[in-house]
Chain A
Amino acid sequence: MNRRLLLWVILVLCMVFWVPTSVFGAPKTTLRLWSWNNEGDYPKVFELIIARFETAHPEAAVEIQWVPYTEYNEKLKATIAAGDYPEIPEIHPGSPQYSLYKAGELLALNDALKTGFPKYFPSALADLTFDGNTYSIPLDVNNLTVFYNKNIFKKLGQKIPETIDDLIALSKALKAGGYMGIAHGAKDGWPAGDLYFQMVAYTDGSHTLLRKADFGKISWNRPEFIDAALQILKMNANGVFPPGTASVDYFTGAVQLFTQQKTAMFYPAGSWIVGGFDTQFPPDVEYGLFPFPKISKTQDFCSTGGVATNWGVLKKAKNQDLVLAFYRIAADMTSAQILVDHSMIPPYAIKIQAQREILADMIKAQAIAQTRFVFTPELHSQVMSGVQGLFTGELSAAQFVAALDKVEKTIKR
Chain B
Amino acid sequence: MRTHRLAGYLFILPALLFFAAFLVYPLLHTVYLSFTEWAGFDLKKISFVGFDNFKLIPPDSIFWKALRNTLYFVLATTVFLNLLGLGLALFLNNNARFTRLIRTLIFIPVLLSPVIVGVMWSRMFDPFGALNQILEKIGLIKTPIFWLGDRRIALLSIIGATVWQWVGYDMILYLTGLQQIQEELYEAARIDGANRWQLFRRVTLPLLKGVATMVILLNFIGGVRVFDIVYVMTKGGPNHNTEVLATHLYEVAFWFNKMGYASVIAVIILALSLVFAYFRNRLMSEERA
Binding site for B on A (CB under 8 A): 73-74, 77, 80-81, 95, 99-100, 102-105, 186-189, 242-249, 252-253, 257, 262, 377-378, 381, 385-386, 388-389, 391-392, 394-395, 406, 409-410
Q: Given contacts A253-B126, A410-B60, are A244 and B41 in contact (CB under 8 A)?
A: no
Q: Which residue of B lies closest to A71 (CB)?
A: B254
Contacts of A249 in B (CB 8 A): 122
B200 CB contacts on chain A under 8 angstroms: none
Looking at chain A's contact residues, the main secondary structure is helix
Chain A: which residue is nearest B149 at the CB level? A247
Q: Residue A103 contacts which of B39, B60, B127, B148 (CB distance < 8 angstroms)?
A: B39
> Is B128 an interface residue when CB atoms closer than 8 A count as contact?
yes
Q: Which listed residue, B60, B123, B143, B239, touches A394 by the CB 8 Å rule?
A: B239
Q: Are A243 and B143 within 8 A (Cβ)?
A: yes
Partner of A247, one of B42, B59, B148: B148
Give complex CA distance A189, B147 in Å. 17
11 pairs, CB–CB < 8 Å, chain A vs chain B: A73-B254, A102-B257, A103-B42, A188-B235, A246-B237, A247-B150, A381-B256, A386-B239, A388-B237, A392-B151, A406-B61
The proximity string for B residues 139-177 relative to A, scoring 1 for CB distances below 8 Å and 0 otherwise, is 000011011111100100000000000000000000000
* One of A73, A100, A242 near B127 (C-beta < 8 A): A242
- What would 12 more interface pairs be, CB under 8 Å, given A80-B42, A100-B41, A246-B237? A77-B257, A81-B40, A103-B41, A187-B149, A242-B127, A244-B144, A247-B127, A247-B238, A385-B237, A385-B239, A391-B238, A410-B60
Residue of A nearest to B122 (CB): A249
Is B234 part of the contact surface with A, judged by Cβ < 8 Å? yes
- Beta-carbon nearest neighbor of A252 in chain B: B123
For window 1-59 of chain B, which residues contact chain A by CB distance below 8 Å?
39-43, 45, 56, 59
- Shortest distance from the beta carbon of B185 to any chain A beta carbon, whole Å: 51
A386→B240 CA distance, assembly (Å) = 9
- Per the bound structure, the CA–CA distance linking A252 and B238 in Å amounts to 17
Which B residue sits closest to A387, measured CB to CB? Answer: B239
When chains A and B are docked, how far (Å) is the Cα of A339 from the Cα of B232? 33
Partner of B149, one of A95, A105, A244: A244
Query: At the interface, yes or no: B251 with Cβ under 8 Å from chain A?
Result: yes
B98 within 8 A of A: no
Question: Known: A99-B257, A249-B122, A378-B256. Contact between A81 and B42, CB under 8 A?
Answer: yes
Known A-B contacts A77-B40, A81-B40; A388 and B122 likewise in contact (beta carbons under 8 Å) = no
Nearest CB on A from B278, distance (A): 32
Asked, given contacts A244-B149, A381-B255, whether A388 binds B43 with beta carbons under 8 Å apart, the answer is no
Q: Which of A77, A95, A252, A410 contacts B56 (CB 8 A)?
A: A410
Please give the residue numbers on chain B whose beta carbons come within 8 Å of chain A beta carbons, in ascending order: 39-43, 45, 56, 59-61, 122-123, 125-128, 143-144, 146-151, 154, 234-241, 251, 254-257
A61 to chain B, nearest CB (A): 28
Say yes or no: B239 contacts A395, CB within 8 Å.
yes
* Contact partners of B61 in chain A: CB under 8 A: 406
Distance in Å from the Cβ of A24 to the closest Cβ of chain B?
A: 39
Assess whether B126 is in contact with A246, with CB atoms less than 8 Å apart. no
Known: A77-B254, A105-B42. A247 touches B239 (CB 8 A): no
Q: Is the CB of B59 within 8 A of A377?
A: no
Interface centre among A243, A247, A252 (most CB of B within 10 A): A247
Q: A247-B149, A406-B61 are in contact. Are A95 and B41 (CB under 8 A)?
A: no
B238 touches A81 (CB 8 A): no
Q: How far is the CB of A152 from chain B (nearest CB, A)?
A: 17
Write the nearest CB–CB distance from A260 to chain B, whole angstroms.
Answer: 9
* Nearest-CB residue, chain A, relative to B143: A243
Nearest CB to that of A247 among chain B residues? B149
Q: Which of the residues A248, A252, A388 comes within 8 Å of B239, measured between beta carbons?
A: A388
User: A186–B238 contact, CB under 8 A?
Assistant: yes
Residues of B within 8 A of A81 (CB): 40-43
Contacts of A388 in B (CB 8 A): 237-239
Beta-carbon nearest neighbor of A77 in chain B: B40
Structural contact, B41 and A105, CB atoms closer than 8 A: yes
B151 x A247 contact (CB < 8 A):
no
Residues of chain B within 8 A (CB-CB) of A262 are: 128
Q: What is the distance, in angstroms, from B25's C-beta to the closest C-beta of chain A?
A: 16
Complex Cα gap A249–B143 (Å): 19
Given contacts A103-B41, A187-B234, A242-B127, contact A385 B240 (CB under 8 A): yes
> How far apart are the CA atoms of A104 and B41 in the complex, in Å?
9
A189 to B238 Cα, complex, angstroms: 9
- Which residue of A is nearest B45, CB measured? A103
Question: In the bound complex, what is the Cα–Cα distance between A247 and B241 (angstroms)?
Answer: 12
- Would you give the shortest CB distance from B56 to chain A, in whole angstroms? 7
- What residues on A are CB-neighbors of B148 within 8 Å? 187, 247
Residues in A with CB closer than 8 Å to B239 are 246, 385-386, 388-389, 392, 394-395
Q: A244 touching B127 by the CB < 8 A rule?
A: yes
Tell me the bound Cα distance from A209 to B280 in angstroms: 55
Given known A-B contacts A244-B144, A257-B128, A410-B60, A392 and B41 have beta carbons under 8 A apart? no
Q: Which residues of chain A are near B41, meaning CB under 8 Å?
A: 77, 80-81, 100, 103-105
Q: Is the CB of A187 within 8 A of B151?
A: no
Write the chain B residue with the least CB distance to A384: B237
Closest beta carbon of chain B to A266's beta carbon, Å: 15
Contacts of A252 in B (CB 8 A): 123
Closest A residue to B146 using CB positions: A244
Residues of A within 8 A of B144 (CB): 243-244
Nearest-neighbour CB distance to chain B for A5, whole angstroms, equals: 37
Partner of A248 from the list B40, B45, B127 (CB cut-off 8 Å) is B127
Question: What residues on B are CB-neighbors of A395 within 8 Å?
Answer: 239
Measured CB to CB, the closest approach of chain A to B244, in angstroms, equals: 14
7 smallest beta-carbon distances between A and B, as pairs: A247-B149, A244-B127, A389-B239, A388-B238, A244-B146, A247-B148, A246-B238
- The interface residues of chain B lying within 8 Å CB-to-CB of A103 are 39-42, 45, 257
Using Cβ atoms and an 8 Å threshold, which residues of chain A touch B147? 247
Across the interface, which residues of B come within 8 angstroms of A246, CB to CB? Answer: 146, 149, 237-239
B123 surroundings in chain A (CB, below 8 A): 252
**Distance of A103 Cα from B40 Cα, bound (Å):** 9
Give the chain A neighbours of B127 by CB distance below 8 A: 242-244, 247-248
Given contacts A99-B39, A99-B257, A257-B128, contact A189 B235 (CB under 8 A): yes
The answer for the CA separation of A262 and B127 in the assembled complex, in Å, is 13
Name the A residues within 8 Å of B237 (CB-CB). 187, 189, 246, 385, 388
